[in-house]
Amino acid sequence: MTKVACIGECMIELKQADGGLLSRGYGGDTLNTAVYLARLGAAVDYITALGDDPLSDEMIAGWAAEGIGTSRVLRVPGKLPGIYMIQTDEKGERRFFHWRDAAAARSLMDLPETPDILNSLAGYNFIYLSAITLSLYGENGQKDLFTALKLAREAGARFAFDTNFRARGWPDLDLAREVFRDAFHLADIVLASTEDLLPLYPGESAENLLARIPGAEVVLKLSEPASVVRLDGVSYPIKAKPLEAEVVDTTAAGDSFAAAYVAARLAGADPIAAARAGHRLAGVVVCHPGAIIPRTAMPPGRIEPITSRRASP
């Protein structure tokens, strides 16, 4: 079976509830993608660092219940997970507030077990991470991770980079552009959006943003419910189907899109069909509060991953 690794951070999620109260869950961009990948039938491990506290225990138990492998989760004594709170407006657009500067996940590239984690990447068929993942680590950690990704690709793995950009994680935008450029050149698949890229390249058209990304397989999600898939230099516009319910929270829209896209590609679907699958799942997710929707709300159908050493092109 095709093995997938998702690398990043999961945090405690606080979201609005009735009566001005907050409900507690968990989420984080690559973790959200891992959950939806597992629900779509992928064999996925999550790679991160957590503390040795009860909330971290709860997270690991929750991931295992979703079918996510947790053997690559490092535990850091005395550390805690980060926290984020979601605030949504009347259109469902979200705003995040974070408490994560000392979170355990930030130390993933600086632990005694880090070399083993990096070496393990060569044992996966597909590796997924985001710009938020890269923003967690210092310059040396980013370089070590890129080196490990290169070795994994030489061993036959494919690498997907999601451009999920949060300005607060990149106080130096020139450095962010440099890291993005390196990730673009290394990735087999780039999952981008105009929302992510315009803060880095202000005023550019969708066409120019696509031109900044080399590689044969690129998906650019647009500000409207649509995307452009570029395959071997040819662009294909994809329109999302109209939503069947009201948008209540756009949290994890991009994460769920990525999960459905990757799951479809691993199952042998072409990029255009994969993008349609991404829009379909994202269209369901945004109609529910929080990052992880109930299992009962998942659209019908399960995408079985292929069993070859490498995903189909």
Which residues are marked as active site? 255
How crowded is the C-beta side of 59, counted as CA atoms within 13 Å? 30
Q: Which residues contact 105 (CB under 8 A, 6 or more apart)?
A: 8, 9, 10, 48, 49, 50, 81, 82, 136
CA distance 170 to 292: 26
| Cβ burial 200-225 (10 Å sphere, 16+ → b, else e) | beeeeebeebbebbeeebbbbbbeeb
CA angle 155, 180, 172 (to 5 degrees): 135
Secondary structure element (H or E) that encloses residue 93, with its range: none
**52: region left, alpha or beta (phi > 0 left; psi from -120 to 50 alpha):** alpha
Gap between the Cα atoms of 217 and 184, Å rounded: 11
d(CA 92, CA 185): 34
Determine the length of the chain: 313
Question: Would you call 148 exposed, middle or buried from its count of C-beta atoms within 10 A (0-12, 13-18, 19+)?
Answer: buried
Cα–Cα dist 269/277, whole Å? 10
- β-partners of residue 48 are 73
